[in-house]
Structure 1
Amino acid sequence: MSATPEITAPEIPKKGAVVATAETPSGKGAKDENFPVGSFLLPKHLRPHVAIFYDFARAIDDIADNGALSPEEKIKRLTTFDAVLNGEPGYGEEYAKAHALRESMKETGVTTKHGSDLIAAFILDAEKSRYRTWEELLGYCELSANPVGRYLLDLHGEDKSGYRYSDALCTVLQIVNHLQDCGDDKRELDRIYIIGEWLAEEGEDFTVVERAAVAPGFRKVMDRMLDGCEALMVDARKLPSALASKHLAMESAIIVRLADRLIQLLRKGDPLASRVALSKLDFAVAGAIGAASGFFQAGRGAV
């Protein structure tokens, strides 16, 4: 397990301080994700809570990705979201999504740490834009991706021993998303999640993502990152069997198949030349096969 990056949060804005627009909506939503968000497979009574968690994550992600905000302003807003989530009084409706998640977590008994970890990841995005080692990237994923899976497990009352398998799956989804968006991330956000040391070993540097197509050296680094994802998938594929909930096992099995398919597509595709993405057929096949396999895997135990 990699070390979690150290993050020093700035002073929280004073209570009652006016923030013109706490949120900066990008227009992105659940339809833009690589995986189903709160689908009909999940228990009906839990879907509203999943939607609240997703809306919170979307709001803070949009702040972190807003090019019109300075790093200092991003950190100020994100830090305040964390204060509100954790019950700091004195903040109003400009932080409605943090208030809503706090109430949801109070009702369900899920820890607010998962939301705080996501905020820590987005604060890190405001402070850090390059990743030198694989371990650094895994540390980022511990904050930016893994809390989502842990939240879902806790929401469904699953044993925390399942974190190992959900962490692996969430980390893979984050890394393949970085590879899918490597060109856009550099152009729009000046962020590069490609391993700097591995690029240097191939005689390349971070400028590879600014080209019109994947160069041979970059392809080797991509394949090496995908090899790391394949290693993580050994645990990720065990997630459905580690779950007691058939609902969550079915959803997880679908996502496992989508992750495997994305790795396969990125092995062959060029994310700099064109978008490497899942097709409607990919979703349909993963949905049908994954739901069936997850139903029968649930409760068997990870082996």
Structure 2
Amino acid sequence: MTSASELRSGKTHRDENFPVASWIIHPRHRELILAFYNFVRTADDIADHAMLDAPTKLSFLDLLEAELLGRGETQAEAVILRKALAARGMPPRHALDLLTAFRMDVTKLRYEDWDEVIHYCRYSAMPVGRFMLDVHGESTSTWPASDALCAGLQINNHLQDCGKDYRNLNRVYLPRDALDAVGAKVDELGLLKSSPALLQCLQGLAARNDVLLGEGRPLAGEVKDFRLGLEVSVIQSFADRIVKMLKVRDPLSERVHLKPIEFLFASVGALGSEIARRTFGRGPVSKPAPRA
């Protein structure tokens, strides 16, 4: 097997917990965003592949990186993204950062504390927001709020999927010190229902993540692009609703994902609020900053 495409899980941008290249985004950006998504999805699926050993996963990730940087033409997702970025005069730095996260997924199965989790998010989530901001020509002064929102989305996902990640991949993103503080054990993640101690840990982490998501809330007002501002407001709304569920529910035994009708209502509400804010309220709050 020589093609990373053959290792795809079948998951597409329509299966994510947040919109990817939705109709809100201007059509001129969608081809590039989907090229970025397909590259990232391929690498993610390789890192999570149940039938590959660690050396094979790492070799495929290295191959994707090499071809993203122009050394080869055999991996379609890497070649397509490389050409799409070149057409826009954009470097591949955000995709390269994400490859760092996927290598961590292969080699690192446990996290000691919150800071280690945030360090992981620096490579697994924050580059996605930074990429979107770069695509739209936004200032790097928007990065701190974007980083907070993206990390919060990632941690929401860690909490939602904590049981599945443990059972399928023996991967635990819950900080070890948070588990120890309440007397919870890692192997409890394999149960069908959280113990009182594990539930206390999970809901405590959700409450902490709620604070982090709050740090990302200014982002929609900081970006200048009208459509991107709307997209960010929708994503923030999804994240806020999910963390609210995680603060009171057990992800091992209860639903902690939005239903289609909840997605719809959250989207409509967020769009209406952001349109009203941009029409009648203040404008973007960010100031131009040198691009990094």
Shorter-normalised TM range:
over 0.9
Indicate the residue corresponding to 1:21 in structure 2. 3
Give 1:110 deviation, angstroms: 2.5
5+ residue gaps, structure 1, are: 1-18
Bigger shift: residues 215-224 or 159-168: 215-224
Matched residue SS, 2:28: coil
Letter in 2 for 1:102: R
Gap change, CA 1:297 and 1:116, over 3 Å in 2? farther
Indicate the residue corresponding to 1:92 in structure 2. 73
For the aligned residue pairs, the C-alpha RMSD in angstroms reads: 1.5
Q: Does 1:54 align with 2:34?
A: no
Letter in 2 for 1:21: S
CA distance in structure 2 between the partners assigned to 1:302 and 1:21 by the alignment: 43
- Structure in which a larger fraction of residues adopt helix: 2
Indicate the residue corresponding to 2:14 in structure 1. 31
Q: Does 1:102 align with 2:78?
A: no
Q: 1:183-202 counterparts in 2 under 5 A?
A: 183-202=163-182
CA distance in structure 2 between the partners assigned to 1:171 and 1:265 by the alignment: 18
Indicate the residue corresponding to 2:125 in structure 1. 145
Using structure 2 for the length normalisation, give the TM-score: 0.92
Q: 2:157 aligns with which of 145, 166, 177?
A: 177
Give 1:148 deviation, angstroms: 0.6
Letter in 2 for 1:301: V
Bigger shift: residues 292-301 or 126-135: 292-301
Give 1:297 deviation, angstroms: 4.2
Structure 1 stretches of 4+ with a deviation exceeding 4 A read: none
Give 1:227 deviation, angstroms: 2.1
Q: 1:284 aligns with which of 245, 264, 271?
A: 264
Indicate the residue corresponding to 2:290 in structure 1. none
| Number of equivalenced pairs | 282
5+ residue gaps, structure 2, are: 288-292
Indicate the residue corresponding to 1:71 in structure 2. 54
Q: Does 1:254 align with 2:258?
A: no
Q: Once the two structures are aligned, what percentage of the paired residues are identical?
A: 35
Q: Report if the CA contact (8 A) 1:110-1:151 is conserved.
A: no
Q: Report if the CA contact (8 A) 2:44-2:102 is conserved.
A: yes
Matched residue SS, 2:173: strand
Q: Report if the CA contact (8 A) 1:36-1:255 is conserved.
A: yes
Q: Report if the CA contact (8 A) 2:4-2:42 is conserved.
A: no
CA distance in structure 2 between the partners assigned to 1:264 and 1:44 by the alignment: 33
CA distance in structure 1 between the partners assigned to 2:184 and 2:244 by the alignment: 24
